[in-house]
Amino acid sequence: MSSLPLCLVVLLTAIVPQAALAQPVSLKQSQKARSPKVRLKLPKLPLGDPPGGRRRGGGGRDTCPEVGVPLTALVPVTPRSRNGKVIEDVWGLTASEKPNFWFYSPYPQGDRFKTYFVLRQKNKHGDTIARLPIQLPSRPGLLKVTLPEKMSALQIDRSYYWALSIDCREAGKGVPLTVEGMVHRVNLPDTVKQQVAAEVSPIGKAQQYAEQGIWFEALDLLSSYEQNDPNLKANWEALLRSVDLDPTQFGL
């Protein structure tokens, strides 16, 4: 009668060490899978005149209310030196015919400031392709600008200037608050397109784009982090930090 409990003790003693050894391996794999990995590989500037631009608004002659975190374009910058001063070129690559543009707006729609987005060709005439009225978010936060379907597609190997302006002026005084930069469209090699298509998750796709220096698609894929996926959010934050943007400033 006493042999049955003894067998159970022997079996449990044999099983428990294996489970204890297996658990740290599983935990380590889980932590590795969730570690943020999407970071932009900063590309070289396209040929031609440098884009210049402004990633953050404020500090000029605009009349918008002062805020802790200014209007910000979620776009990389490439620093360069001119006459002993460091200048930032605000720009990014896209592989899309009509990329989405992301900003942080410190002003909610309740302020009723006129806001508009402009896209122009980078040529001697600066021909306007689109001028869109923009509705600010219901509270300070992310602002997504989507180009209209009827607009012509961006051409491969062409650069375009964009600008987002918030007009806080009264009686015509001052100037609108503006952030501006450049987007350059490229054609990805077929091998890269296949690698992106083979990825199942938005994180995997975003990583493929980021490794090729493609900013706009990488950011757009990860911006769905608001769906309460901590892994998406962590990689979104890692991508922003890779271009010297602090996501904690945006209060998200």
5-64 per-position pLDDT tens digit: 433 333 333 333 443 434 444 434 444 446 678 999 999 998 888 899 999 997 667 788
* Helix intervals (H) in the chain: 3-34, 190-198, 202-211, 215-222, 230-241
Dihedral sign for Cα atoms in the order 130, 136, 140, 146: negative
- The type of residue at 87 is I
The residue length of the chain stands at: 252
Q: Are 73 and 179 in contact (CB under 8 A)?
A: yes
| Tokens 């890692």 belong to residue | 238
Q: How far apart are CA 39 and CA 211, in angstroms?
A: 7
Residues of the chain short of pLDDT 50, as ranges, are 1-33
- Record the pTM: 0.83
CATH fold for domain 72-250? Immunoglobulin-like (2.60.40)
- Please provide the distance, in angstroms rounded to a whole number, between the alpha carbons at the two ends of the chain: 65
Q: Are 183 and 99 in contact (CB under 8 A)?
A: yes
* Per-residue tokens: 183: 């987007």
pLDDT at 13: 37
pLDDT at 228: 77
pLDDT > 70: percent of the chain: 83
